[in-house]
A and B are shown apart, each in its own frame.
Chain A
Amino acid sequence: MLETALQALLIMLDPLRLGFMLVGIGVGIVIGILPGLGGMVGMSILLPFIFGMDPYTGIAMLLGMAAVIHTSDTFPSVLMGVPGSSGAQATILDGYPLAQKGEASRALGAAFFCSMLGGIIGGFILFLAIPIFRPLVLAFKSPELFMLSILGLSMVGILAGNAPTRGILAGALGLLLGAVGGAPAVPEYRYTFDMLYLYNGIPLAVLALGLFAFPELLDLLVERRSISKSEEARGGFVQGFKDVIREKVLVLWSATLGALVGFIPGLGGSVVNWINYGAAMQFCKNTENFGKGDIRGVIAPESGNNAKEGGALIPTLMFGIPGSGTTAILLGGLTLMGVQVGPRMVTDQLTLLLSIIWTLVLANIIGATLCLVLTKPMARICMIPAQKLVPFLLVILIMGSYQSSRHWGDIIVFFTIGLLGWVMKHLDWPRAPLLIGFVLAKSTERYLWISMSRYGFSWLLFPGVIIIGIAVILLLWGGYQLKKRSVKQIMAVEGGHQG
């Protein structure tokens, strides 16, 4: 195994292949920076060039791109409060406030460093999982997958913070919006009002951009300021590195959690960063500053979303089941190059499998380094006054949304959801639960439908279901305790002041 690993590494270090990897990385960085574009766009751009390449070169390019999107997507999240891709939303919660305090470089430095580490850990987990791939995927049947979706939804409770009722309502609204379009399990269409555009449902990129990005831009304009509320750019990225090293345990288990969630088909990449953020809030000490600029609120999601690429490749390569749109296109690319995915990969194509892992590792390192170089110039963006910045950003956002279906419906949805997001922001309704509900709507319904059709009610007694169910209850109870504790703390402090 070790010999093959070395051989695979030497193959990937071939100058021509490295060259194509750099092309992929370049494309990936640009796509990550431009809000609204995600892995699928990058794959679509690179796919036509694959035909005729040998698999190693093709993989270098495609995976080079996919690996670094979640590194560079931190730029817009931190600097502008706009998600660079669907995997970078949670980063905004603490990254953006840090930028507002003038600590953009620190946030970026920390994010890139832990993204790199997260990506490497993800690749490593992929490597470790090779012998247990199949039993692992086979262990999760429809009822267990349904329970995992419920687990994801229960994150809503934690992320709702001080307003659980609003959080649940927002989550329910998200579930409702997720129901628009084709039903996951039957050939029926809901809420399409006979518009063919809505047959596919509301595109995730448009929803995310509208919900999070639009309100920020609007407020920037209204308040007539630049993003950074203070003038100097304090705390360069070296400070960020030190933060990451100090929080190495957080990095390690965020990345592991990210890879694990990435591996479960149906949960999807956009949920990973929220789960990591919620988990960090649950298990870290002193979390009062989460949401106001705690660097750990950046480290947790950023380590996770790079690691998830490694996890998502497991079902893709072993079963030909893509975990996301990006991996679906990757599968197509592999077929074009004549690669057969499936159980035979471990035996017949071990070198290829290992070179995939090496690409993930190498691309993450190179990508993170390149992003670090870009930090200083990009951080200056925060200093630009709003009147100059916002029109430019708004155009980019609209173009980003339009990429989803290239239909004017994208733009209408973007503005509608944008207004909803703005209203929610100012009425203090949490928006993260809405997004989670939306993303998980289809999988939750699909797996519940299948579980009921197949097993009647008997699936409720499956051991896997019961274990996950207990985890959900613990998580919700823990969240409730946290809230009670923080309320008590606030009251104690106020009592102390008054006493």
Chain B
Amino acid sequence: MVPFAPGGGTDVTARALAPFFNKHLQGKPSVQVVNVAGGGSITGANTYELNRPHDGLHLIATSGSTHNPYLLGQTGVKYDLKKLTPILTIPQGAVIYVSPSIGYKEPKDLLKPAKPLVYAGVSATGWDVIMLLAWEVLGIEVKTVLGYEGRGPTRVAFEQGESNIDFQLASAYKAQVEPLVAAKKAIPIATQGMMKGGQLVRDPAFPELPTIRELHISMYGKEPSGPAWEAYKAFVGSNVTIAKPLWVHSDAPPEAIANLRAAAYALSVDPEFYEKAREALGGYGVFVGEDLEKTVRDIMAVPESVLEWVRKFLRDKYGVKSL
């Protein structure tokens, strides 16, 4: 099940994965993608939890839009990600870039830019929450304008000069922003990074770019810390590391789960998959097995105090009322 309308990122990934699950699952069952859109994926996720048999034959593909409302406890969420077992995930990193007009030469320049920083975003509870937390972690002043329709329009806003600092997901960055960088109209300054083993590490698709953590060190000479930083790491985990995960009900029959795990592993080493699903992968590998399950458990184990801090932060600073 894909809790989004057809054609979106999650849907495309699920459709790219489907034939390979058919190939590698024991018994070669036919795999069908069913879309149940609504409520920003909350409807589909609720349906999966409450209205689908826990028989190991029903899976769900989610994304940050499904994880964030769960973590933040938004109204309407009836699903519990802790009751799901992740089978595989494809991470999706993000690159942060600025306009040359702000006069950026090194991270410290973000504290005193040549022009005030303006950021165009979509929603305070979506992927943008990572950036809102990043401004807190780095202690920089950014005028944030939310409400754009998607990451495509925010990129257009950057090109038009409506904003001068933006981020794009890896695949969009490569397709749309790299030509701007080549034309000297954009400067990449960092990636959002990726959570691995409880640490924020460099994005494997952009190993030459520093992470927010390294920017902080460069600006202040010490490691970032505090509730904003803990929250930042949690949301990077939930949006970047497990960007496109596939889950099954944890209380499904153990043989079914074992079959799925084996198929996921086989898929992750199948050269045909890497060739055919190149676009859907966007340059990242497939994450499976014990490693994945531990990472997800860590992400879901965010302390309530940090989540409460984020809720208060979003309510007070950004006027979000539905938390």
Contact = CB atoms under 8 A, between A and B. Distances in A.
B15 A51 contact: yes
A336 B15 contact: yes
Nearest to B321: A188
A187 B15 contact: no
Given A138-B160, A199-B39, A454-B118, A332 B176 contact: no
Interface in A280-323: 319-322
A40 B5 contact: yes
Contacts of A416: none
A196 B51 CA distance: 15
Interface string B236-269: 0000000000000000000000000000000000
A342 B175 CA distance: 6
A185 interface: yes
Contact of A43 (B6, B16, B38): B6
Interface in B1-29: 5-8, 11-12, 15-16, 19
A141 B7 contact: no
Given A186-B147, A336-B280, A321 B152 contact: yes
Contacts of B155: 319
| Range, interface on chain B | 35 or more
A199 B7 contact: no
Nearest to B8: A332
A200 interface: yes
A450 B145 contact: yes
Interface string B137-149: 0000000011111
Interface string A333-356: 101111111111000000000000
A141 B12 contact: no
B55 interface: no
A344 B175 contact: yes
Interface in A40-89: 40, 43-44, 47-48, 51-52
Interface residues of A, number: 54
A338 B279 contact: yes
A329 B2 CA distance: 14
Contacts of A188: 320-322
A319 B151 CA distance: 11
Interface stretch (B40-48, B106-114, B207-215): B40-48
B160 A329 contact: no
A142 B322 CA distance: 26
B103 to A, nearest CB: 21
B46 to A, nearest CB: 7
Contact of B320 (A40, A187, A197, A322): A187
B176 A321 contact: no
B320 A186 contact: yes
Nearest to B32: A48
Contacts of A182: 40
Contact of A335 (B76, B123, B162, B280): B280
A38 interface: no
A142 B158 CA distance: 12
B76 A196 contact: yes
A142 to B, nearest CB: 7
A44 B6 contact: yes
A458 B159 CA distance: 20
Given A47-B15, A338-B279, A330 B175 contact: no
Contacts of B301: none
Interface string B88-106: 0000000000000000000
B276 A52 contact: yes
A338 B7 contact: no
Given A48-B15, A332-B8, A137 B162 contact: no
Contacts of B35: 44
A144 to B, nearest CB: 10
A236 interface: no
Contacts of A370: none
Nearest to B174: A340
B150 interface: yes
A331 interface: yes
B162 A142 contact: yes
A335 B12 contact: yes
A321 B172 CA distance: 11
Contact of A332 (B7, B36, B46, B152): B7
Contact of B319 (A186, A194, A328, A343): A186
A498 interface: no
B6 A329 contact: yes
B99 to A, nearest CB: 14
A333 B125 contact: no
B18 to A, nearest CB: 8
A51 B39 contact: no
A337 B12 CA distance: 10
Nearest to B183: A343
A182 B75 CA distance: 13
Nearest to A449: B147
A331 B7 contact: yes
A20 interface: no
Contacts of A52: 19, 276
Nearest to A454: B145
A43 B153 CA distance: 23
Going nearest first, the 4 A-B pairs with the smallest beta carbon separation are: A185-B147, A332-B7, A329-B7, A321-B152
29 contacts: A52-B276, A137-B156, A184-B147, A185-B146, A186-B146, A186-B147, A186-B319, A187-B322, A194-B75, A196-B39, A196-B42, A197-B38, A199-B38, A199-B40, A199-B43, A200-B38, A200-B39, A319-B155, A328-B7, A330-B7, A331-B7, A332-B11, A333-B7, A336-B15, A336-B280, A340-B175, A405-B37, A450-B120, A453-B146
